[in-house]
Structure 1
Amino acid sequence: MLVVTTNDLPGWEIDRVCGEVMGLTVRSRNAFSQLGAGFKSLVGGELKGMTQNLVNSRTEVMERMMQEARNRGGNAIVAMRFDTSEMGDVWTEICAYGTAVVAWPVTDGAHETARQLGYQL
């Protein structure tokens, strides 16, 4: 599925808007990894465990958002955004949202992109 942060798809024609879609997860922090991250922050450097958790969470919410778009009949998502917020001291909400659309390529470059993504033209 084509997912973009722009409001349009150059080389594509949007035939129909299917509506807003989102994927959401709420994650709790592991007390031991928080403790390790606290120590790591004293000396500096990447918090690899926390980075991997964020990558996994973003992947999960993207997959949920794309599935909702498919369920609504969409084949692309425009105006995609991520949002995060803290809930209390131990929970983090991560959300991906955008607008599901039905779009078709109208230029040669867009046709090539569609083929690479596995669209049936």
Structure 2
Amino acid sequence: MEIIMASDNFIITTTEHIPGKEYDVIGEVFGLTTQSKNVVRNIGAGLKNIVGGEIKDYTKMLDEARNISVQRLEDNAKKMGADAVVMMRFDSGSIGADMQSVAAYGTAVKYK
């Protein structure tokens, strides 16, 4: 079970249940971001494409996008009055040749 805990004890989990908590479902919640690759990253990726291996700048970009999308998920859930998010998942995809979109989504819940 993966639990991401914010500083104020807001729980985001990939599981359906939070041990020891009873809650009502508020609804679906999302956190979205789209990141673009910069010129330096594109040049580095082009060179790495020739020799193979991990393109660390792209990996870093996707990691940053994941963190931003989770923070936005939490912010949006709190705006809905939620105490936690269960069943959190990620989705990502390319937009054109040089942009990547990441979505974090789940179910916002309110403790009883």
User: Fold-level match, TM-score > 0.5?
Assistant: yes
State which structure, 1 or 2, has the greater radius of gyration over its C-alpha atoms.
1
Q: Which runs of 5+ in 1 are unaligned?
A: 105-121
* Consecutive unaligned residues in structure 2, runs of 5 or more: 1-9
Q: Cα offset for 1:20?
A: 0.8
Alpha-carbon deviation of 1:25? 0.9
Distance 2:60 2:28 in 1: 28
Shift of 1:57: 0.8
Report what 2:21 is aligned to: 12
Counterpart CA distance in 1 for 2:42 and 2:111 is: 44
In the other structure, the counterpart of 1:32 is 40
1:13-35 CA-partner distances (Å, limit 9, x unpaired): 12x21211111111222133122
Counterpart for residue 52 of structure 1: 60
In the aligned structure 2, how far is the partner of 1:45 from the partner of 1:88? 23
- Greater fraction helix: 1
> Amino acid of the residue matched to residue 15 of structure 2?
T
Question: 1:103 deviation in Å?
Answer: 2.9
Q: Distance in 2 between matches of 1:42 and 1:103?
A: 53
Q: Structure 1 segments of 4 or more deviating over 4 A?
A: none
- Tell me the number of residue pairs that the alignment of Structure 1 and Structure 2 aligns: 103
Local SS of the residue matching 2:22 = strand
Taking structure 2 as the reference length, the TM-score comes to 0.81
Percent identity, please.
41
- Superposition CA RMSD, Å: 1.6
- In the alignment, the residues of structure 1 paired with residue 96 and residue 45 of structure 2 have an alpha-carbon distance, to the nearest angstrom, of 19
